[in-house]
Amino acid sequence: MIGKLLRLSLGRRQLHTIISQEIIKPSSPTPSHLYTYNLSSVDQLAAKAYMPVVFFYPNNDNSNLTSQDKARVLKESLSQTLTRYYPFAGRMSTPITPYVDCNDEGVVFIEAKINRDLEKYINLSQLDKTLDLLFANDLVNYKSPSNTSLVGVQFNHFACGGLGLAVSMSHIIGDGTTLGSFLGHWASVARYGSTDHQEVFPYIPHFIQFPCTDSVQPESRAREVDHTNVISKKFVFPNSKLSDLKKLVHKDINPSRVDVLTSLLYKTAAKAVVKRSGCFKTSYIFMMVNMRNKFVKKLPQSTFGNIALVMLVSTDKHTSETSLSRVVEDIKKTMSEELAGIQSVQQIGEYMKVSRSNMRNQNNLAKVVNGSYWCSSLCGFPFKKMDFGWGKPVSTNLALRSTHKNGFMLVDTINGDGIEALVLLEKENMDIFENDKEMLSFCQN
């Protein structure tokens, strides 16, 4: 497929050219007793979507490696990494098959030439379709819901000499923590040349053996939301401002940075809807909770799969009359009540099935979806430190697509001195949100 040209162009200039494509297989065969990896009920309930992240590297490192050398290092280290993360090299026969056939079929690795400088992409909106070209075979959220490949990689060579490494992982096989562990393992192997190096040990996957079950949900197409009226913007909140924000919350609640920032963003967004419409409606927030450290018998952070619970919190009072402390308290209280007694992945699956059934039985699903926000935090994940041997990235970008229009994604800033919040809202609500004086008082000037 060398030289294959895609149709998107910039004026008369070709913007994107695939220069090579190959399949990277594990450096050693997967043992026969591991040929089948059964998905948990939580895996099967996960969105039929890809989690796409791209890392940008400038052309100013001191590694003395050419772009071709770096591509070779990436391929060799990926091959070694797949011996540990063997399900990633497998396939699902259909999008609803309850297991992965670990057949070592491999991961697609594409190299592409981008006729633009790296800087053009660093601040690109997550909803800009141009960003999709950086990812392999359209493996971007909700682009290819019928694709049975689990991971795709594209190594992009920009006109300025900078590089962009784009990785997509199917949400069916794992959550954000799984993606972070996989990338951390791969980067460590690339830097040190061996899967046995001590720096790789924290990222060695821990697998839970699940029994083979029938699919827990019928086949359905992933719902692709029309984002034409949705705006995505980044807001940076320094740690010093987040400390000030925490002081507004009662001390006995003991909130984290993520708790207070999530509450502020949610409160501000819901308040914008009230200001725009002139009337109050109950709003909801879906929060993704990493359960690995919530069990009595804690699981390693490198535990493979979807080990996360989606928790729904409702706000029944007028947001303009609700203090930040009250919103944080509602979230913490709901978390404490909902997570009580959940001590296994199987129990997470049961909780999620019951929650969905209750919403459908009460005819509340449409109301909840229309008035809801989602929030996910990748703070503490290694994305900002992804060094494959030529330095840390100058920026990362999540090519988010969502089944909901409104939401927040939180990640650590590059320098680690705060949180970067990606906010997705409908345009009319964003116009109000981004001018909210309370929210702006905690943003970076």
- pLDDT tens, position by position, 145-167: 456 789 999 999 999 999 999 99
Q: What is the mean pLDDT of residues 224-245?
A: 84
> Based on the domain organization, do 34 and 104 belong to the same domain?
yes
Residue 445 covered by a domain:
no
282 band by pLDDT with thresholds 50, 70 and 90? confident
pTM metric for this prediction: 0.89
> Based on the domain organization, do 84 and 141 belong to the same domain?
yes
Q: What percent of the chain has pLDDT over 70?
A: 85
How much is the pLDDT for 41?
92
How much is the pLDDT for 224?
53
Domain final residue pick, 188, 203, 218: 203
Q: What is the pLDDT of residues 43-84, one digit of tens each?
A: 998 888 888 899 999 998 888 899 999 999 999 999 999 999
Residue 106 covered by a domain:
yes
3-state secondary structure of 49: coil
> Based on the domain organization, do 317 and 178 belong to the same domain?
no
Residue 140 covered by a domain:
yes
> Based on the domain organization, do 198 and 234 belong to the same domain?
no
> Based on the domain organization, do 30 and 71 belong to the same domain?
yes
Indicate the number of domains in the chain: 2
352 band by pLDDT with thresholds 50, 70 and 90? confident
> Based on the domain organization, do 16 and 149 belong to the same domain?
yes
Q: Are 205 and 292 in contact (CB under 8 A)?
A: no
Residue 48 covered by a domain:
yes
> Based on the domain organization, do 199 and 234 belong to the same domain?
no
Q: Which of 10-24, 28-42, 110-124, 308-322 has the lowest mean pLDDT?
A: 308-322
Instruction: Please report how many Cα atoms fall inside a 13 Å half-sphere around the Cα of residue 184, on the Cβ side.
Output: 22
Q: State how far the Cα of 194 lies from the Cα of 204, in Å rounded to an integer.
A: 12
How much is the pLDDT for 64?
86
Instruction: Please report how many Cα atoms fall inside a 13 Å half-sphere around the Cα of residue 318, on the Cβ side.
Output: 8
> Based on the domain organization, do 103 and 52 belong to the same domain?
yes
Q: Are 65 and 76 in contact (CB under 8 A)?
A: no
> Based on the domain organization, do 121 and 244 belong to the same domain?
no
Q: What percent of the chain has pLDDT over 90?
A: 51
Distance (Å) of CA 7 to CA 13, 142, 156: 11, 21, 17
In this predicted structure, the answer to whether residue 299 has a pLDDT above a threshold of 90 is yes
Q: Which of 123-127, 131-135, 222-226, 415-419 has the lowest mean pLDDT?
A: 222-226
How many helices, marked H, and strands, marked E, lie in the chain? 11, 17
In this predicted structure, the answer to whether residue 8 has a pLDDT above a threshold of 70 is no
> Based on the domain organization, do 197 and 259 belong to the same domain?
no
Q: What is the mean pLDDT of residues 95-100?
A: 89
Q: State how far the Cα of 356 lies from the Cα of 353, in Å rounded to an integer.
A: 5
Tokens of 232: 């995505």
> Based on the domain organization, do 123 and 160 belong to the same domain?
yes
Q: Label the pairing between strands 151-158 and 36-38.
A: unpaired
Residues 6+ apart with CB under 8 A from 329: 249, 250, 253
Domain that holds residue 143: 4-203
> Which CATH number fits the domain that encloses residue 116?
3.30.559.10
> Based on the domain organization, do 193 and 237 belong to the same domain?
no
Residue 54 covered by a domain:
yes
Q: Are 363 and 58 in contact (CB under 8 A)?
A: no
Residue 426 covered by a domain:
yes
| 369 against 267, higher pLDDT | 267
Per the prediction, the chain carries an average pLDDT of 85
Residue 222 covered by a domain:
no
How much is the pLDDT for 221?
46
Q: State how far the Cα of 26 lies from the Cα of 235, in Å rounded to an integer.
A: 40
Residue 373 covered by a domain:
yes
Specify the amino acid at residue 273. V
